[in-house]
């Protein structure tokens, strides 16, 4: 039995370890290809296909699609690469991984900016910035922020805000990206272009050479990033009027297997101009023709790219509209149900109020006939103790009954200190006689007797003096002899069937109805 247990535990531990190892390996492959894609995009496409096929989560699928898009765009299949980015964006709707989501959105921002759809580019970039704040891993955060800062610098450069351009490049440069040296080299190239645009040629040269040094030390030479650096150096020496050196840099750049088409077009154009200036007319014509052919191809590609982007944006907007409609209908249905519940509740509440008001009218009618309101229990009620069989002389009994009637005609019962002993003292008799007579003739105990007098008294005041309808319940309680608000409320409801507040509300309504009939 123990052997089975340990065998099972070993298998479980091995499975977990193997699974964790696979995840780490896929993560390492992803990071490695963030660099190598610039050297061999076709190989990265193959790797990405493998990762996509073996992905076990949306995050892994999105990473594979991101690598696919990078490889395809660098290989010239830009439209297909953008399709992959939109697929990745769709997969990550639930924000499963803020790291890869921010990379995807920054890449879409770049493609939208280059296609002239700048409002969407800004929106996607802002989403990437917001998502990057949720990244926990410092390594992932450095990668994501570098990509974001680079894209921000290009946006500011496009709007000729060079101060902000420099600021964003500095932020990118200050991040530690030892695992992705390709990003560090790209930042140096962007610095080089920044200085080229401001005609600071020596500074531009320094940064382009820094980029090449980073690539060489990281074994990323012959990459598309290096072609950008060499093209930048060619332009530096062209502007310095060092034509031969410029040509050599351009020719070195063109030897790199994967050069992005916009870079090629600019180099063909500059080489055509350089050879024209050196009287090499045939070479000038050759590069001019190559530029023209590639330019025509690029125009078709750009139209396709723009069409792909617009179609996806339209689809997203349609989906958003559908989602808004669904939410609208949900809210509408929810509000309809709420209003129905309110209506039904209001109907039954009014119905209950009407029943209570009818009951109130019966109570008031009883009061108007000078009938005293009594607590709803009889001589059989358990709260009323049986007679003790005290023998009271007939004459004494008659006198006490007369004095009780006189007592009821006064307001002495409204004294909060009134009790059986005090009443007996005032009537010059003993409390046992009074208690027995109230029990026998009133069919209630002393407390109920006093409370009924007090409640009937305060009702009389409320009916005859409208000022009492505006007093607080605590004042009404004190006026009729109750020592507390709560005791008054309990007794009042036990006798009338209503709380003092309900009774006052109904009494006001009754008075209003009566005044309206005259």
- pLDDT per residue as tens digits for the range 304-322: 888 888 888 888 778 777 7
Handedness of CA 265, 305, 49, 217 (dihedral sign): positive
Q: Bigger pLDDT: 54 or 19?
A: 54
Give the domain 372-517 fold: Arc Repressor Mutant, subunit A (1.10.10)
- Total count of residues recorded for the chain: 518
1, burial (CB in 10 Å: exposed 0-12, middle 13-18, buried 19+): exposed
Those residues whose C-beta lies under 8 Å from the C-beta of residue 139, and which sit 6 or more positions away, are 179
353, burial (CB in 10 Å: exposed 0-12, middle 13-18, buried 19+): middle
pLDDT exceeds 90 at position 14: no
pLDDT exceeds 70 at position 504: yes
Those residues whose C-beta lies under 8 Å from the C-beta of residue 252, and which sit 6 or more positions away, are 230
Distance CA 30, CA 3 (A): 40
Domain boundaries in the chain? 327-360, 372-517
Query: Can you tell me which residue has the tokens 């149900």?
Result: 337
pLDDT exceeds 90 at position 25: no
Enter the tokens of residue 246.
């410029």
pLDDT band at 378 (very low <50, low <70, confident <90, very high): very low
Give the model's pLDDT for residue 380.
42
pLDDT exceeds 80 at position 13: no
Distance CA 33, CA 23 (A): 15
Please give the DSSP secondary-structure letter assigned to residue 371: P
Distance CA 126, CA 297 (A): 32
Give the model's pLDDT for residue 2.
58
How confident is the prediction for the chain on average, in pLDDT? 87
pLDDT band at 330 (very low <50, low <70, confident <90, very high): confident
Q: Around Cβ 4, how many Cβ atoms within 10 Å?
A: 8
Give the model's pLDDT for residue 325.
78
pLDDT exceeds 60 at position 225: yes
């Amino acid at each position: 039995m123990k052997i089975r247990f340990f065998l099972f535990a070993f298998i479980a531990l091995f499975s977990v370890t193997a699974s964790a190892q696979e995840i780490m390996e896929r993560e390492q492959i992803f990071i490695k290809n963030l660099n190598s894609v610039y050297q061999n995009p076709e190989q990265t496409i193959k790797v990405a296909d493998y990762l996509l096929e073996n992905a076990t989560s949306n995050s892994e699928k999105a990473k594979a699609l991101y690598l696919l898009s990078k490889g395809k765009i660098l290989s010239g299949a830009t439209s297909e690469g953008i399709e992959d980015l939109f697929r990745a964006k769709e997969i990550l709707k639930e924000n499963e991984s803020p790291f890869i989501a921010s990379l995807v959105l920054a890449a879409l921002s770049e493609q939208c900016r280059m296609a002239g759809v700048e409002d969407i580019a800004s929106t996607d970039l802002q989403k990437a910035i917001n998502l990057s704040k949720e990244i926990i891993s410092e390594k992932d955060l450095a990668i994501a922020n570098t990509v974001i800062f680079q894209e921000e610098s290009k946006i500011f450069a496009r709007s000729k805000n060079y101060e902000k351009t420099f600021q964003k490049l500095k932020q990118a440069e200050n991040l530690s990206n030892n695992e992705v040296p390709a990003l560090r080299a790209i930042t140096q190239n962007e610095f080089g272009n920044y200085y080229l645009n401001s005609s600071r040629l020596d500074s531009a040269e320094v940064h382009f050479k820094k980029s090449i040094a980073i690539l060489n030390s990281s074994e990323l030479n012959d990459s598309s990033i290096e072609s950008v650096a060499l093209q930048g150096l060619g332009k530096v020496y062209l502007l310095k009027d060092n034509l031969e050196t410029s040509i050599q840099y351009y020719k070195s750049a063109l030897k790199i297997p994967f050069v992005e088409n916009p870079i090629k077009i600019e180099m063909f154009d500059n080489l055509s101009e350089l050879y024209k200036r050196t009287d090499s007319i045939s070479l000038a014509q050759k590069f001019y023709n190559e530029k023209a052919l590639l330019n025509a191809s690029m125009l078709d590609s750009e139209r396709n790219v723009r069409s792909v982007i617009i179609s996806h944006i339209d689809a997203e907007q349609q989906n958003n509209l559908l989602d808004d409609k669904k939410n609208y209908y949900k809210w509408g249905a929810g509000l309809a149900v709420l209003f129905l519940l309110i209506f039904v509740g209001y109907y039954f509440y009014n119905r209950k109020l009407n029943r209570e008001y009818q009951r109130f009218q019966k109570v008031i009618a009883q009061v108007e006939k000078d009938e005293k309101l009594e607590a709803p229990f009889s001589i059989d009620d358990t709260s009323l103790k049986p007679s003790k069989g005290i023998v009271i002389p007939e004459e004494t009994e008659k006198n006490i009954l007369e004095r009780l009637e006189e007592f009821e005609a006064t307001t002495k019962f409204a004294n909060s200190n009134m009790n059986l002993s005090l009443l007996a003292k005032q009537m010059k008799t003993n409390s046992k006689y009074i208690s027995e007579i109230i029990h026998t003739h009133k069919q209630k105990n002393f407390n109920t007797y006093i409370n009924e007098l007090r409640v009937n008294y305060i009702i009389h005041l409320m009916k005859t003096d409208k000022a009492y309808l505006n007093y607080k319940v605590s004042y009404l309680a004190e006026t009729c002899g109750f020592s507390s608000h709560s005791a008054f409320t309990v007794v009042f409801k036990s006798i009338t069937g209503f709380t003092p507040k309900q009774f006052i509300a109904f009494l006001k309504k009754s008075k209003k109805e009566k005044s309206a009939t005259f």
